[in-house]
Structure 1
């Protein structure tokens, strides 16, 4: 199974955290990364995204380029526990799957899947990684590729 983990694009700071919107630069960077994913060997069948505005906007851009549906998930906000996401991934029916979320969540989840701990690697805005996940669990994934704006 393959899992894409993507951080939302660059967002402005002119409102409360949940309402922040992508900047023009952020929109362009998201589209550039989505185009790279479109050219890769693996393409997601479904996108799960955080309910925050900037993540929904990121997912919408990616969805349009990759022609795949988006499903909003409450457990993908910045400070959520990656363990709840692992539980949901165990039940996931559609693979490859893409998650669009935030730091520190994307770093913690990726590190948990690859290295088995939650210290979290940094992600740039709009960055995505592709993980090979033969079994959903801590330390069970391998980093297969990364996509940078």
Structure 2
């Protein structure tokens, strides 16, 4: 399975966390990364998005560039347990799959899949990574590519 994990684009701070929207800089960063993914051999079959507005806006920009569906998942918000996402990935048949979420989840999920622990690596806004997992499980993924704004 190929899995892409992406942090939402830059968002403003003028409202409640769940309602934060992308800034213009954030929209451009997401579009840049989406164009890089479109030019790669790993075009997602679908996007899993956090229900928070900034993640949904990020997913919408990527989906428009890549022409793929968005599936909103309630268990990939900033402070959710990456183990819940791992459990859902075990039942997933879509590959490549793109997850659009937030820090610290994107960092802890990536680290769990690559290194087998939950001490999250940092992600810039709009950054995406591609993981190659012959088997879905902790420590079973290899970092194959990074996409930076």
| Equivalent position of 2:89 in the other structure | 89
Q: Give 1:93 deviation, angstroms.
A: 1.9
1:45, distance to aligned residue in structure 2 (A): 0.2
Question: What's the TM-score once normalised by structure 2's chain length?
Answer: 0.99
Equivalent residues, number: 149
- Render the CA deviation track for 1:27-60: whole Å, top value 9, x for unaligned: 0000000000000111100000000000000000
Listed as ranges, the gaps of 5+ residues in structure 2 are none
* Cα RMSD for the two superposed structures: 0.4
- Give the Cα–Cα distance (whole angstroms) in 2 for the partners of residues 66 and 74 of structure 1: 23
CA distance in structure 2 between the partners assigned to 1:11 and 1:134 by the alignment: 34
Alpha-carbon offset, residue 103 of structure 1? 0.2
User: Where do 5+ consecutive residues of structure 1 fail to align?
Assistant: none
The residue aligned with 1:47 is 47
TM-score normalized by structure 1?
0.99
Query: Does 2:33 match 1:37?
Result: no
Shift of 1:3: 0.2
User: Partner residue of 1:57?
Assistant: 57
